[in-house]
Amino acid sequence: MGPRIIGWGKAVPARGLTNADMERMVETSNNWIVERTGIRKRYWAGPNESASVIGAEAARMAIKRAGISPTDIDLIILTTMTPDKTSPATASIIQRKIGAKRAATFDLWAACPGFVYGLATAYNFIRTGAFRTILVIGSEILSRIIDQKDRRVCVLFGDGAGAVVVQASAEAKDDPSNFVLGCDSDHADVLFVRGPFDVAEEAGPPGEYFTVMQGPEVFKQAVRVMSKAGQELLGKMNWKLSDVDVVIPHQANKRILDATGKALGVPPEKVYCNIDRYGNTSSATIPIAICDAVDEGRLKPGDNVLLLAFGAGLTYAAMALRWDPPPAPSSA
């Protein structure tokens, strides 16, 4: 028995903001944003939307596509930097919202690579036989940890959620060496979010726990660590670049995606990008991209998929998958 993804889903808040909307908020322009980031739209949560609200919505879609009941879920892993509360885990709140009463729950904090960390964790739980059916969700409300008056940062980030159901299957084509997880903490100061629990001189002012980013350095380190992780994983898997059908990277910046693909030697047409529609949604970018890539026919049964991500810490991750979902249930 090996792990395979049997369901997937996504959700975004109701409020969408185009670059024209951003022009009315801060001193910027559509051309500047598109040329430097590739972003044309992002979604920001309203007062009644949270990581658990949109995370539960994405989870329901994934559960429906999987053709299972919420009570079939053994474990919920939520990856987020923006939990509803400091405690309990937001995964526990989602458990109640979706009725997954049997499921164990925990939140996983690994910044933008969090979803890949969570997916690798789910795969290994299933390999050991500890659990049979696991729900992995990436859900972020980044609009609440950015200074919406900072034109360098606020145009980049959006809110959203994506989820997958992973289940043990006798038909799964599995390789336990299919992931690389790492952290280069020497560069942890190029991207971080202030918080209330740090030493006094580093903590953010109350109500201003905002993202701090050194843009040029983030660009350089992102390309370095994602290409390094991808090369290491291809070596572990004994894959050639020609074996990869589609690369789904963390959607941080179109120029980062292009540069990473070039560093790896991957043809541009194999690198999936949907950042223009959502902005950077941190750990939600990859599961949202999986959903869109399937809908667009860019991700097809039998494809070899390479997931790549980086984030604050400086954490990074790569994971290789054989996309081989079961046929959709009639109710999906």
Distance CA 122, CA 174 (A): 13
Is residue 312 in some structural domain?
A: yes
User: Are residues 205 and 304 located together in one domain of the fold?
Assistant: yes
Q: In Å, how far from its chain's centre is CA 47?
A: 23
Percent of the chain surpassing pLDDT 70: 99
Spell out where 210-324 has E strands: 211-213, 246-249, 303-311, 315-323
Q: How far is CA 67 from the centre of its chain?
A: 23
pLDDT at 332 over 70: no
**In this model, does residue 331 exceed pLDDT 70?**
no
What mean pLDDT is reported for the chain?
93
Q: What would the two tokens of residue 296 be?
A: 């667009």
49 has pLDDT over 60: yes
Query: 15-18 and 41-44: which strand pairing?
Result: antiparallel
What would the mean pLDDT of 15-38 be, rounded to a whole number? 96
One domain, residues 266 and 302? yes
Mark which of 169, 199, 234 sits at the end of a domain.
169
Q: Which of 138, 169, 200 is the last residue of a domain?
A: 169
Helix (H, G, I), strand (E, B) or coil at 101: coil
Which is more confident, 308 or 328?
308
| pTM for the predicted model, two decimal places | 0.95
Predicted pLDDT of residue 163: 98
Residue type, 49: E
Active site residues: 112, 250, 280
Which are the contacts of 138, defined by CB distance < 8 A and separation ≥ 6?
Answer: 78, 79, 80, 114, 115, 118, 161, 162, 163, 281, 282, 283, 284, 285, 286, 287, 288
244 and 122 housed in the same domain? no
Instruction: Look at residue 240 in the predicted model and tell me its pLDDT.
Output: 93
Asked if 122 and 160 sit in the same domain, the reply is yes
Mean of pLDDT values over 269-288:
97
